[in-house]
Amino acid sequence: MMVDMDEARRHEPRWLSDDEQRVWRAFREAVGMLNAHTETQLQHDAGMPQAYYEVLVELSESPDQVMRMSDLAVATRSSRSRLSHAVARMEAKGWVRREACPTDKRGAFAHLTPAGFEAIKAAAPGHVEAVRTAVFDQLTAEQVRMLGEISDAIRGGLRPRCPEVERRLAAEDGDTADGDGDGDDTGRAA
Partner DNA sequence: CAGTTATAGTTGAGCGCTCAACAAGATGGC
Partner DNA sequence: GCCATCTTGTTGAGCGCTCAACTATAACTG
Binding residues for DNA (CB under 7 A): 36, 40, 43-44, 48-49, 51-52, 68-70, 73, 78-89, 98, 101, 103-109, 163, 167, 182-184, 186-190
Residues between 165 and 184 that touch a second copy (CB under 8 A): 166
CA–CA dist 97, 95 (Å, integer) = 7
Based on the shown chain and the rule CB under 8 A, indicate whether residue 157 belongs to the binding site for a second copy: yes
DSSP alpha helices (H): ranges in the chain? 2-10, 18-46, 50-60, 69-75, 80-92, 114-131, 141-157, 163-174
Ramachandran angles phi, psi of 147, nearest 5°: -60, -40
- Separation in Å, CA 21 to CA 10, 14, 26, 33, 154: 21, 12, 8, 18, 17
Cβ 117 vs Cβ 60: under 8 Å = yes
Closest to DNA by CB, 124 or 183 = 183
- Kindly state whether residue 15 participates in binding a second copy, applying the rule CB under 8 A: yes
Least CB distance to DNA at residue 167 (A)? 6
Cβ at position 174, least distance to DNA in Å = 13
Closest to 180 in 3D by CA, of 170, 189, 188, 172: 172
Cβ proximity to a second copy: between 12 and 104 the closer is: 12
34 Cβ contact list (under 8 Å, min separation 6): 134, 135
**Binders of a second copy in range 123-152 (CB under 8 A):** 124-126, 128-129, 131-139, 143-152
- The footprint of a second copy (CB under 8 A) covers 10-11, 13-16, 19-20, 22-24, 26-37, 40, 44-47, 54, 77, 122, 124-126, 128-129, 131-139, 143-158, 160-161, 163, 166, 186-188, 190
